[in-house]
Amino acid sequence: MDSIPVIDTHQHLWDLDLFQLPWLDLPGMDVLRNSFRMADYQQATRNCPLAKSVYMEVNVHPNLHRQEAEYVLALCEDEGNPMSGAVIGGSPGESSFADYLDEFAGNPYVKGVRTILHDPDRPRGMCLTPQFKENIRLLGERGLSFDLCMRPAEIQDAVELVDACPETRFIIDHCGNMSVQPDQQQDRAAWEQGMQLMADCDRVFCKISGIIATATPGTWEPADLKQNIDFCLDTFGEDRVFFGGDWPVCTLTADFESWYHALQWIVRDRAETFQRKLFHDNAEKFYRL
């Protein structure tokens, strides 16, 4: 399987000399309260057949969205690293969102937008306001996608957003954020139903990423992740799933290489064509890399 080139669709970087990330002040984030730059990412992925990567916004302070975007788009232009596109941060709930997008109109490296929906200060239904829907429709008109990173019990809310934005493509990040911990399964039924409803729309894709962060540090096994991942792969099918490293957030429980090899193990019995789509082909097509 190491002969299959990898596109990492969820590459984080942050420089704490340049950006403020308020969520790093939350409990349990000690290992992430450092700068993680491109050279660090390249070191972390050195033993993987990485071909390209797509940057994912890192939930900086909203006042810094523009600076973050400019920072990573400059990296995309640098042939000395694998970054080939970016999902930039933004605030679709604000009336200024259209003007913000205008600043990056025509930039081929801008592939989409994300705003985190599961932060403690972001209530359920935030993505269903008229302003939010209007701006997500605007993304579709401009050929851009929107990443959904939300609480597992609220995936069903996104069905209304998807239906309201018929030209926009969506990605569910981190397998819908369903924990693998046995004592955190109270939302499983709602998560499964929501994921199935989302999979009914061919404009919705599922990113196989982030799930490792819910595992138990030091004692997890690939088998701990298998149930959730297999559900996502089977629900969305081989043409609408792709791999995301979620580095350095994955280091809360595992390094990049351990997560990558765990996913290899989980899909080892699936057809090679399936594996190639998961690790490379689907991402190349979706992001036009």
State the Cα torsion 66-89-289-250 to the nearest 10°.
Answer: 120
Domain CATH for 103: 3.20.20.140
Run of H or E including 266: helix 256-266
User: From edge to edge, which strands make up the β-sheet containing 50-56?
Assistant: 6-11, 50-56, 83-89, 110-114, 145-148, 169-172, 204-208, 241-243
Q: Which residues of 183-219 are buried (b: 16+ CB within 10 A; e: fewer)?
A: eeeebbebbbebbeebbebebbbbbbbbbbbbbeeee
- For residues 32-51, average pLDDT: 97
Spatial contact of 59 and 89, defined as CB atoms under 8 Å apart: yes
Domain that holds residue 238: 6-286
- Domain assignment of residue 25, yes or no: yes
Spatial contact of 15 and 37, defined as CB atoms under 8 Å apart: yes
- Domain assignment of residue 1, yes or no: no
The pLDDT, as a whole number, for residue 268 is 97
**Percent with pLDDT over 70 in the chain:** 99
Quick count: other Cβ atoms within 10 Å of Cβ 30? 9
- Domain assignment of residue 94, yes or no: yes
Strand pairing class (83-89; 204-208): unpaired
- Domain assignment of residue 79, yes or no: yes
pLDDT tens string 114-140: 999 987 778 788 899 999 999 999 999
- Which has the closest alpha carbon to 289: 13, 36, 43, 50? 50
- Domain assignment of residue 126, yes or no: yes
Tell me which long-range contacts 255-258 makes (C-beta under 8 A, separation of at least 24).
Answer: 255/44, 256/44, 256/45, 256/48, 257/44, 257/45, 257/47, 257/48, 258/212
User: pLDDT confidence of 29, banded at 50, 70, 90?
Assistant: very high
User: pLDDT confidence of 1, banded at 50, 70, 90?
Assistant: low
Please give the mean pLDDT across all residues of the chain: 96
pLDDT tens string 169-222: 999 999 999 999 999 999 999 999 999 999 999 999 999 999 999 999 999 999
The identity of residue 92, as a single letter, is: P
- Domain assignment of residue 38, yes or no: yes
pLDDT tens string 63-102: 999 999 999 999 999 999 999 999 999 999 999 999 999 9
Run of H or E including 7: strand 6-11
- For residues 139-148, average pLDDT: 98
> Domain total for the chain?
1
The pLDDT, as a whole number, for residue 125 is 85
Quick count: other Cβ atoms within 10 Å of Cβ 288? 10
Q: Is the pLDDT of residue 2 over 80?
A: no
The pLDDT, as a whole number, for residue 131 is 97
One DSSP character per residue, 71-105 reads HHHHHHT-TTS-EEEEEEE--TTSTTHHHHHHTTT
The pLDDT, as a whole number, for residue 103 is 96
- Domain assignment of residue 206, yes or no: yes
Kindly state the tokens that stand for 263: 């996913």
pTM of the model: 0.96
Number of helices and strands in the chain (H, E): 10, 8
User: pLDDT confidence of 289, banded at 50, 70, 90?
Assistant: very high
Kindly state the tokens that stand for 165: 């934005």
Cα separation, 230 vs 267, whole angstroms: 8
The pLDDT, as a whole number, for residue 193 is 97
